[in-house]
Amino acid sequence: MKSIVIIGFGGFGREVDWLARECGRTVRGFLDDNATPGKKGNYTILGGLDTWSAYPDTELVVAIGNPRIRRKIVEKLVSQGVTDFATLIHPSVNMDETVDVGKGTMICAGSIATVDIAIGDHVILNLNVTVGHDDEIHDFVTVAPMVALSGNVTLEEGVEVGTGAAIRQGITMACGSMLGMGGILTKDSEANTIYVGSPAKPLKHLPEFI
Ligand SMILES: CC(C)(COP(=O)(O)OP(=O)(O)OC[C@H]1O[C@@H](n2cnc3c(N)ncnc32)[C@H](O)[C@@H]1OP(=O)(O)O)[C@@H](O)C(=O)NCCC(=O)NCCS
């Protein structure tokens, strides 16, 4: 199996290093424009993003929590010819064979996805997320730890859900919207809008996702 190069040497990037190793993969190192190349403890910074082609026999994974930044980087890499993105699913994740998972997606320890679920490309499901029946999680969604998604929930492209939030069954979060940590979402969200509280209400607008 190809070794892994992780894009983004932030806190989540280091968690993805652990995730990859737990998946039995070898991590070659990190690419990050804002880190100095060399050894940092147990980690190796290989260089900036544009050096990816120096590692031809690897798969990349973009380990950056912000959906807008993650999409920008993926689009740049794809435009430069990258096709090999790793899908990393921690061995403790419990999911039925009717769950589809796209490329470049990371599913962290303790998460559960039940049945008939579609999870897109470059999605992050962090620790202990529960995903209910018939949910649709589109590309570039980020779900923080301990989130509960009821059944028939749709998270459109670039949605972000904060730690410990919960979403009622049948709800759709529109493209680029966000639910803050601890929020309880009981109605569909509007695109590119942050919601907080219980029941969640709009707080402010975000830049357009598309
Ligand atoms: C919702 C969120 C994005 C808002 O961040 P922000 O734009 O910087 O907003 P601020 O911190 O300036 O807060 C604005 C107001 O909203 C309130 N607020 C912020 N987050 C809130 C939340 N999750 N629930 C309820 N109220 C919240 C603040 O108390 C503040 O209220 P005030 O104006 O009465 O003082 C952020 O607080 C959040 O929840 N982020 C998710 C964090 C997370 O889950 N990280 C996961 C890492 S793995």
**Boundary residue ending a domain (79, 102, 125):** 79
For residues 131 and 150, give the distance between their C-alpha atoms in angstroms, rounded to a whole number: 7
Q: Verify whether ligand 1 is closer than 6 Å to residue 182 (CB atom).
A: yes
**Exposure of 160 by Cβ count < 10 A (0-12 exposed, 13-18 middle, 19+ buried)?**
buried
pLDDT the model gives residue 171: 98
Residue 210, pLDDT above cutoff 90: no
Overall number of domains in the chain:
2
Domain housing 164 = 88-203
* Atom number of ligand 1 nearest to Cα 162: 44
**Boundary residue ending a domain (25, 48, 79):** 79
* Atom number of ligand 1 nearest to Cα 145: 48
pLDDT the model gives residue 102: 98
pLDDT the model gives residue 100: 98
For a pocket test of ligand 1, which of 141, 203, 206 has the largest count of ligand atoms closer than 8 A to its C-beta? 203
Q: Are residues 126 and 183 in the same domain?
A: yes
pTM: predicted TM-score of the whole model, two decimal places: 0.98
Minimal-distance CA residue to ligand 1 atom 2: 180
pLDDT per position as a tens digit, 19-50: 999 999 999 999 999 999 999 999 999 999 99
